[in-house]
């Protein structure tokens, strides 16, 4: 028998209302098949328990091992089945946004169509309940502030109705919720003006920020671009409330926006808050857990490489990892716990090193030999190590849009942990996401990777570190064999002698002007002429990046600049130059640098031609 549209609509409404009421009352709808599976597993667990008890009574070691393995297997299956009972489709939250978008667009006079994808993606019931309000805020925000009015869309060549795309999908053990609109986008210039108006940042600080960093400022407390409080989206509440609620769930939020094109907001969430795989680490005499969803890789820096791979940039330590510079924190410093180390005899002592890369020189280590260690003389009279055998253990973690490293004393093992909420007196401790009971019955705190990054005010120091290192080399005057390696197109690299460079400036693409067909930029109270490598040499065009670099140098008594898309590195090397293969106007030759074929630029030749 066919069902009329009216009956179908009523049925859908009742289903949504039933799901909504289930969420509010704390009840769950569980498939009878899942309950049957739970009953079967419970029976198997009882049988295995009986086998284990009998084996212990008879002191049969082999049977005890077999029963223990069986207990482990049944427990894992039971855990998975119970978790399935808590999982609910995200559609229970998504479906209510159809009515919200419809009502708001009608009341505001906008034409908006909502598309939903991934309604069957499942999340833990606790997370489903917690994300309902933040996601509602984001959807209302897209309708109110993101989508333009129909007349304005037609003026800029956009079609009506506008589109909001709501999508959920799995990625790397997490659930990604994506809200995408084809509206006006977020203008970083408006954000910068508002930050200055509200005295939240200075003009100098804003100039040092990228557009992506400026856009993320809308998540800061007290910031809003709205000129007045409306009933449409926030109703006076900023996006900082959304950000705070999501981070409490162990989630992150990323914003990608282009003026006139639209905005994409991505929310990353863990599948469940109940049981998560984690890495157990030690700092001082305390154990902590790090959720594996935040782990990128583990790095062990041998003692002889510590001074070369760990550097100091401003007041922050960084590690050079595959030619990348990552911010580095020592967990004991972050949490304010004593720094300890274990000497070669196993005695725990106070670590007096103030900075991570504080290691003795080889001349000091040479005072001690293997005979000293065999005679149980691991320490000098001042209490320091007799030999720098201790490597540095670094856990590289991901906190949303950036990676950083955490230095710990010891890495233990990875295991699945049961998450327990923090007590009321620890609710404001941003470094912790919860607590757990380990296998030996002792408790351990779960580290909040995003919270630590915010607490320590971390940001990506890659560009800053690179520029400082290059600046030091320029100021030092050591130009022999020193080259600056830059990138123009995505796959073309160039080298410039550091001795020819006055400065390196990072600029905004939008600040470049072209009066009379000549590129220039306002620079130190005057105009700086800019040149591109492809204007003279037969190479690919410069890569379109938001923040290109300008290599400033002296030519015929005045400063000019060469535009490049990225700075790769500053190196000291002995190279053999091939002056035939790639030699042309503006290119002196080529060499094999950093495992890349790199062309040597003739700066003065480029400008003259």
CATH architecture of 91-270: 2-Layer Sandwich (3.30)
Q: What is the spatial distance between Cα 19 and Cα 29, in angstroms, rounded to a whole number?
A: 9
Instruction: Kindly report, residue by residue over 306-348, the tens digit of the pLDDT.
Output: 777 787 776 678 887 766 678 888 898 888 887 776 666 667 6
Give residue 272's pLDDT. 64
Instruction: Kindly report, residue by residue over 205-232, the tens digit of the pLDDT.
Output: 787 777 888 888 888 777 777 665 555 5
Beginning with the edge strand found earlier in the chain, give each strand of the sheet holding 410-418 in spatial order. 410-418, 275-283, 286-291, 443-447, 432-437
**Max Cα–Cα distance, the chain, nearest Å:** 96
Instruction: Kindly report, residue by residue over 267-308, the tens digit of the pLDDT.
Output: 888 766 667 788 999 888 889 999 887 888 888 888 777 777
Residue 385, exposed/middle/buried by CB under 10 A (0-12, 13-18, 19+)? buried
In three-state secondary structure terms, 562 is strand
Query: How far is CA 370 from its chain centroid?
Result: 44
Q: What is the spatial distance between Cα 517 and Cα 530, in angstroms, rounded to a whole number?
A: 11
Give residue 270's pLDDT. 74
What CATH number belongs to 276-455?
Answer: 2.30.30.40
Instruction: Name every residue whose Cβ is closer than 8 Å to that of residue 9 and which is 6 or more positions away in sequence.
Output: none
Q: What angle do CA 600, 604, 608 make, to 5 degrees?
A: 125
Q: Does 414 have pLDDT greater than 80?
A: yes
Instruction: Kindly report, residue by residue over 99-143, the tens digit of the pLDDT.
Output: 999 999 999 999 999 999 998 888 888 788 888 888 988 999 899
In this structure, which CATH number among 3.40.50.2000, 2.40.50.180, 3.40.50.300, 2.40.40.20 belongs to the domain 462-608? 2.40.50.180
Pairing verdict, β 493-497 and 596-601: parallel
Q: Which of 315, 326, 179 is nearest to 246 (CA)?
A: 179
Give residue 454's pLDDT. 76
Residue with tokens 């782990």: 295
Phi and psi torsions of 432, nearest 5°: -120, 140
Asked if 278 and 417 count as a contact pair (C-beta separation under 8 A), the reply is yes
């Amino acid at each position: 028998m066919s069902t009329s549209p009216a009956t179908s609509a009523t049925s859908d409404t009742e289903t949504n209302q039933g799901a909504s009421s289930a969420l509010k009352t704390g009840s769950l709808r569980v498939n009878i098949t899942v309950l049957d599976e739970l009953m079967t597993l419970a029976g198997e667990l009882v049988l295995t328990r009986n086998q284990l008890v009998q084996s212990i009574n008879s002191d049969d070691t082999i049977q005890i091992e077999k029963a223990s393995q069986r207990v482990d297997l049944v427990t894992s299956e039971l855990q998975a089945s119970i978790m399935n009972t808590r999982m609910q489709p995200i559609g229970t939250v998504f479906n209510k946004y159809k009515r919200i978008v419809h009502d708001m667009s009608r009341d505001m006079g906008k034409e908006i169509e909502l598309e939903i994808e991934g309604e069957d993606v499942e999340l833990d019931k606790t997370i489903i309940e917690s994300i309902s309000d933040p996601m509602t805020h984001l959807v209302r925000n897209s309708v109110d502030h993101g989508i333009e009015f129909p007349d304005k869309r037609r003026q800029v060549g956009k079609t009506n109705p506008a589109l909001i795309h709501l999508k959920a999908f799995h990625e790397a053990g997490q659930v990604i919720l994506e809200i995408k609109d084809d509206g006006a986008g977020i203008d970083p210039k408006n954000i910068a003006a508002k930050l200055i108006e509200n005295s939240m940042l200075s003009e100098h600080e804003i100039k040092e920020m990228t557009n992506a960093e400026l856009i993320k400022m809308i998540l800061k407390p007290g910031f809003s671009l709205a000129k007045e409080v409306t009933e449409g989206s926030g109703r006076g509440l900023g996006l900082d409330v959304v950000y705070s609620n999501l981070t409490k769930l162990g989630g992150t939020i990323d914003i990608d926006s282009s003026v006139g094109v639209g905005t994409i907001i991505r929310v990353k969430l863990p599948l469940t808050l109940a049981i998560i795989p984690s890495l157990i680490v030690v700092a001082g005499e305390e154990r902590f857990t790090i959720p594996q969803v935040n782990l990128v890789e583990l790095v062990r820096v041998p003692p002889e490489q510590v001074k070369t791979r760990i550097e100091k940039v401003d007041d922050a330590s960084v590690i050079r990892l595959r030619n990348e510079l990552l911010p580095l924190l020592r967990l004991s410093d972050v949490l304010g716990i004593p720094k300890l180390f274990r000497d070669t005899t196993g005695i725990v002592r106070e670590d007096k090193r103030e900075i991570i890369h504080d290691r003795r020189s080889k001349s000091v280590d040479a005072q001690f030999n293997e005979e000293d260690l065999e005679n149980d003389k691991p320490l000098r009279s001042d209490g320091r190590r007799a030999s720098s055998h201790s490597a540095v253990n670094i856990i590289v973690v991901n906190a949303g849009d950036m990676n950083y490293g955490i230095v710990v004393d010891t890495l233990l093992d990875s295991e699945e942990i049961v998450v327990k909420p923090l007590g009321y007196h620890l609710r404001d401790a941003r470094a912790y996401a919860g607590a757990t009971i380990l296998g030996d019955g002792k408790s351990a705190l779960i580290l909040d990777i995003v919270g630590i990054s915010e607490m320590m005010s971390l940001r990506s120091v890659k560009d800053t570190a690179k520029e400082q290192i290059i600046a030091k080399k320029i100021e030092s005057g050591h130009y022999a064999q020193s080259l600056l390696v830059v990138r123009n197109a995505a796959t073309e690299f160039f080298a410039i002698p550091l001795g020819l460079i006055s400065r390196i400036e990072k600029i905004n693409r939008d600040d470049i002007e072209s009066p009379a067909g000549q590129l220039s930029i306002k620079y130190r109270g005057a105009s700086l002429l800019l040149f591109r490598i492809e204007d003279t040499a037969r190479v690919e065009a410069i890569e379109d990046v938001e923040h290109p670099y300008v290599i400033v140098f002296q030519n015929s008594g005045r400063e000019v600049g060469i535009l490049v898309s990225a700075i790769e590195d500053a190196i000291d090397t002995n190279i053999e130059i091939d002056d035939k293969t790639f030699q042309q106007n503006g290119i002196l030759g080529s060499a094999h640098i950093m495992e890349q074929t790199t062309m040597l630029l003739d700066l003065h030749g480029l400008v003259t031609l």
